[in-house]
Chain A
Amino acid sequence: MNSNTQEVMTDYKHEAVLVEGGLTRSDIEEFVARPLDTKPDKKFLIAITISGSMLLLGALCVGLTFWFGVGLWGNNQPVGWGFGIVNFVYWIGIGHAGTLISAILFLLRQRWRTGIARFAEAMTIFAVMCAGLFPIIHMGRPWLAGYLLPYPNQHALWPNFTSPLVWDVFAVSTYFTVSLVFWYIGLIPDFASLRDRTKTKLKKIIYSIFSLGWRHSHRNWQHYEKAYLILAGFATPLVLSVHTIVSFDFAVSIVPGWHTTIFPPYFVAGAVFSGFAMVVLVLVFVRKLFNLEHIITVTHLERMNKIMMATGMMVGYGYAMEFFIAWYSGNPFEQFVFISRALGPYAFTYWIMISCNVIIPQLFWFKRFRRSIPVMLAIAILVNVGMWMERFVIVVTSLHRDFLPSSWGMFIPTLTDFGILIGSFGLFFTLVILFTKTLPVVSIAEVKAVSEGAQPSHGDGH
């Protein structure tokens, strides 16, 4: 039961041990399912009170916005896109880590993903929920959001299918649906295990409904594994397409600072970067609170930190390349925007972004820091601050200096703006906290499959 006994394997020909402490398969089920069987403790209640209050604050600010209109927000000409879009892009980015872990790492046969995949997928779904709220509350008349969908209507009109904003509607809703299906498919065997395990009536009814009568049959497993592979195969290009399309919202326009072809890859890298930071941030607490240190090990966290560092450097390359192109293109408007980013009235946001996203993650070159919980916690928080600032820099600094100096202006966020931002964090953490108490935070079936002696010794399936 001592989590520090396991040394990291340096021999990369062998898979590192994924489940520490010699847990048997029934132990794994016991550890993962225990939080679902126990009554909420004090820590849980404190956590849900804090996040619930944040959520209420956000709900209040959204209600005020609905009643009085978006005039309560700081956006106005020339900065028409303020916190609404910044938060949308930020939350969509947070969602990307889950699909990356569950789909891309699955296709790359990274079996260590099993310990964290379920949690990251759940975070994807909650983050996309938060993201989806912002364009809707930004619309002014959010109750008419249905106009975004192409349905035969009395206006005899269709949405403009050549507009990136309509692509966004399709991309985000497809992403949410596919993530939800992917998550549910992974949950079915666990629902069956919980159904056979529970002693309470209500839980038994709920688990029976969601398990669909799953009986761990290999005739089902055979198709199930195929379906999982197909879904992973589709989710991989999907996750890349979603942030690409989000970046098209900017890149397809002709605003200096937005009109650039590096946006799609640089947005995707940034999304994975911030998403991994958020997963690390939440997992550090979850593994501690629910005694899952043997299943979500420091090795898992270290590997995520490595991916964070890699994507952080990709983002840094994006920043450098934007400046290079501004100079190389010889376009004076482009050059002006980038000089004003680094030295203009919003320079502090730019330097927060650079230091949090490019400089601080370099600490992960040292193994000591990669495996240190306090260091990774601090860096994960700073990376999230930095990535939120990145979206602020992209949206606001590109707009606040228009082509004509007579149209220059400043964007000053209002209290309502901040209230809604805090509310979105409240929504996200409330959903995460409720999730930890209602569903298995680790995929029981998948972790059993990678525990010691789980596969036939002379199996020819390898």
Chain B
Amino acid sequence: MERLKKFFRFNALSGEPVPAERTKKLFGITALFDTPDQIIHAADKISGHYKDFDVNTPYPLHGMDKAMKLKPSKLGFITLVFGLSGTVFALLFMGWAMTLDYPMIIGGKPFFSLPAFIPITFEVTVLLATLSTVIGMLTFFFNYPENNHPLVDTPYLRSVSVDKFGICIYASDTHFDEGNVKNLLMELGGKNIELVYYPQKESYPIFEPKFLIFLAIVAVITSGGTYITLNKLMYLPPFDFMLWQEKTTVQSKSHFYSDQFGMRTPVEGTVARGFLPYMYSGLPQPAQTLVNPLLPDKENLELGEKKYFTFCSPCHGNYADGDSRLNQQFPNPPSLHTDRARNFSDGMIYHIITNGQNIMPSYASQITREERWAITNYIRVLQRAKNAKETDLEFARRHGSLYDKVD
């Protein structure tokens, strides 16, 4: 607290501002003038003798640049560079986002539609140009904030703030000599000629424990607040109103229907997309007309293999031997290598998968038609593998394995 008081230079008791304690090191010599004409004349004369000086006026005076022999401001370069980079950045960014990262056809226009990018490009250009100009001026050109500058809180600056015009010649000038400067200012008609000394340096160590604790508290509050806002608050009413929908979810009770089932069976005769009605369902024997439409080839055998392993192998075993993996939780089916099974037509195997048999349920809703025929073909491969003929061995010897993907 004492530091804060010192920083803003207040008498703790009266609240009155007190001037900062000054060192013995000279900063410069100041003089006040009453009229704009006087100060222009003085600046003109002084700029002939000294380089390190400044004029302080409550508002900018016309002709002062020339009197002080100042070069034109180079601030415009910051504006130019940042403005142009804003243009390029906005165009490139929108071009990338709309053509490469997430291309979408909007209103039948090309992905890179320049006319539609112009408004945002313009706005980004203006934003970057103005912000960079102002921030560049305040920090780079003026070295602000600088509340500890030697001239701040001097009677000199307090007069200038109202209506006086002042000149300050810095001690850092190579030709600076206290007597000469005073005489020159006196000659030019300056009043209130004063010496300004550097203020006492005040240090504010950033590793002070109190400051570190303050930083830690700010960090905890900020991150905790963000966490609570994003992860908790968003799921409280009213922010969660997307969850309050009047809808029935799967397997939930519904009070709308008399049977209270949330899930509804489709109207009788409804045909799902992509499915055809199976005319032999419930019959023990399919008609002789049910013919395998797929010739066995590598592609549908691979499909059949995959589906067989997924749906059939848990009970029928990996090689259709009827060796279930289910540890007697479910009765073992018979082997598919019996004569009976080998003499089934393709249509019969397909019918059993579709319709179920004994305790085997129907797989019609889980396995598509094409996949069922592919499984049928694969079962034929397994059956042939257990009962291979001599000619098959000859063939395999010549061509490598007939089907070498089965482990």
Contact residue among B106, B123, B141, B160 (Cβ-Cβ distance under 8 Å from A171): B123
Question: Which residue of chain B has the shortest Cβ distance to A192 in the bound complex?
Answer: B161
Distance of A456 Cα from B131 Cα, bound (Å): 33
**Chain B residue total in the interface (Cβ 8 A):** 76
Most buried by B among A163, A209, A223, A455: A223
Contact residue among B40, B119, B123, B133 (Cβ-Cβ distance under 8 Å from A459): B40
Distance of A446 Cα from B120 Cα, bound (Å): 34
B113 at interface by CB-CB < 8 Å: yes
A14 at interface by CB-CB < 8 Å: no
Contact present for A161 and B15 (CB under 8 Å): no
0 or 1 for each of A133-171: is its CB under 8 Å from B? (1 = yes): 000000001010000001000001110111110110011
A38 at interface by CB-CB < 8 Å: no
Q: If A231-B133, A241-B119 touch, does A226 touch B61 (CB 8 Å cutoff)?
A: no
Contact present for B134 and A445 (CB under 8 Å): no
0 or 1 for each of B127-148: is its CB under 8 Å from A? (1 = yes): 1011101100110011011111
Distance of A157 Cα from B239 Cα, bound (Å): 22
A39 at interface by CB-CB < 8 Å: no
In chain A between 203 and 233, which residues have their CB closer than 8 angstroms to a CB of chain B? 204-205, 208-209, 211-227, 230-231
Distance of A162 Cα from B95 Cα, bound (Å): 11
Distance of A226 Cα from B116 Cα, bound (Å): 33
Chain A residues, CB < 8 A from B148: 213
Contact present for A156 and B94 (CB under 8 Å): no
Within the complex, what minimum Cβ distance (angstroms) separates A33 from chain B? 10
B209 at interface by CB-CB < 8 Å: no
Contact present for A448 and B59 (CB under 8 Å): yes
In chain A between 165 and 192, which residues have their CB closer than 8 angstroms to a CB of chain B? 166-167, 170-171, 174, 177-178, 181-182, 185, 189, 192
Question: Which residue of chain B has the shortest Cβ distance to A27 in the bound complex?
Answer: B163
Of A76-84, A194-202, A337-345, A346-354, which binds chain B? A194-202
Q: If A178-B126, A459-B40 touch, does A218 touch B239 (CB 8 Å cutoff)?
A: no
Chain B residues, CB < 8 A from A457: 36-37
Contact residue among A201, A216, A227, A238 (Cβ-Cβ distance under 8 Å from B137): A227
Contact present for A231 and B54 (CB under 8 Å): no
Within the complex, what minimum Cβ distance (angstroms) separates A168 from chain B? 9
Within the complex, what minimum Cβ distance (angstroms) separates A157 from chain B? 6
Contact present for B60 and A225 (CB under 8 Å): yes
Contact present for B239 and A143 (CB under 8 Å): yes
Contact residue among B15, B59, B116, B122 (Cβ-Cβ distance under 8 Å from A162): B116
Q: If A177-B127, A223-B137, A227-B75 touch, does A193 touch B120 (CB 8 Å cutoff)?
A: no
B17 at interface by CB-CB < 8 Å: yes
B81 at interface by CB-CB < 8 Å: no
Distance of A458 Cα from B41 Cα, bound (Å): 11
Contact residue among B8, B56, B65, B158 (Cβ-Cβ distance under 8 Å from A204): B8
Contact residue among A68, A163, A226, A449 (Cβ-Cβ distance under 8 Å from B59): A449
Contact residue among B17, B36, B141 (Cβ-Cβ distance under 8 Å from A223): B141
Chain B residues, CB < 8 A from A174: 123-124, 126-127
Contact present for A162 and B133 (CB under 8 Å): no
Of B66-74, B269-277, B329-337, which binds chain A? B66-74
Contact present for B76 and A230 (CB under 8 Å): yes
Chain A residues, CB < 8 A from B247: none
A287 at interface by CB-CB < 8 Å: no
Within the complex, what minimum Cβ distance (angstroms) separates B136 from chain A? 9
Contact residue among A170, A178, A462 (Cβ-Cβ distance under 8 Å from B120): A170
Contact present for B151 and A215 (CB under 8 Å): yes
Contact present for A26 and B163 (CB under 8 Å): yes
Distance of A259 Cα from B36 Cα, bound (Å): 57
Contact residue among A161, A189, A205 (Cβ-Cβ distance under 8 Å from B94): A161
Contact present for A212 and B146 (CB under 8 Å): yes
Which 4 A/B pairs are nearest by Cβ-Cβ distance?
A: A461-B62, A162-B116, A449-B59, A25-B163
- Report 18 cross-chain contacts, Cβ distance below 8 Å, ordered by A residue: A29-B162, A67-B238, A158-B97, A161-B98, A162-B98, A166-B120, A170-B120, A196-B161, A201-B8, A209-B147, A213-B146, A214-B144, A216-B160, A218-B57, A222-B70, A237-B126, A449-B60, A459-B36
Other A-B pairs, 19, CB within 8 Å; known A167-B120, A448-B58:
A25-B162, A160-B106, A177-B131, A178-B130, A185-B134, A197-B158, A212-B144, A213-B147, A218-B61, A218-B65, A218-B70, A222-B64, A224-B137, A230-B129, A237-B126, A445-B59, A449-B59, A454-B59, A460-B62
